[in-house]
């Protein structure tokens, strides 16, 4: 069920702390982006609540791939989680690099939603993700 994400990590600091993109008003979104990524990655979180954090196309893809409702499959999805090491926000897109995972998000009319999670970088190749929309 793994897919690839064609977004690439922008070259940046690999040190400790959180790298923030401060282009325009993007830095104001960092706490919201970080909160959504953390809530989605929480393995003890309510499955329905975690599913509500998915972007509509990502939710539809997950349910289609699994042939089951999101709440039944989300707990079985392998997510690494961890603490945020870097957050980048650009326009209506964002990336949160956690200790053991990378999460991509998009800003919708109802707030930030997860478009891909369980993502592992593959050098110059697209990310390989457990959860991803079309």
Cut 0.85: pTM above it: no
Beta-strand (E) ranges in 24-124?
Answer: 84-90, 93-98, 101-108, 111-122
Sequence-distant (6+) residues with CB within 8 A of 86 are 12, 13, 18, 19, 95, 96, 97
In angstroms, rounded to a whole number, what is the distance separating the alpha carbons of residues 41 and 37? 6
> How confident is the model over 81-109, as pLDDT tens digits?
888 999 999 999 999 999 999 999 999 99
**Can you give the pLDDT at residue 28?**
67
What's the rounded mean pLDDT across residues 65-81? 92
In angstroms, rounded to a whole number, what is the distance separating the alpha carbons of residues 23 and 120? 25
């Amino acid at each position: 069920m793994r897919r690839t994400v064609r977004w690439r990590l922008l070259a940046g600091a690999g040190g400790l702390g959180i790298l923030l993109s401060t282009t325009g008003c993007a830095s104001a979104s960092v706490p919201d982006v970080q909160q959504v990524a953390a809530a989605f990655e929480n393995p003890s979180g309510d499955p329905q609540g975690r599913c509500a954090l998915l972007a509509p196309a990502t939710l539809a893809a997950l349910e289609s791939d699994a042939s089951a409702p999101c709440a039944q499959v989300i707990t079985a999805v392998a997510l690494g989680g961890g603490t945020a090491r870097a957050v980048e926000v650009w326009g209506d897109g964002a990336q949160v690099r956690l200790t053991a995972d990378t999460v991509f998000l998009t800003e919708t009319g109802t707030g930030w939603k997860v478009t891909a999670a369980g993502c592992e970088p593959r050098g110059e190749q697209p990310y390989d993700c457990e959860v991803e929309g079309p």
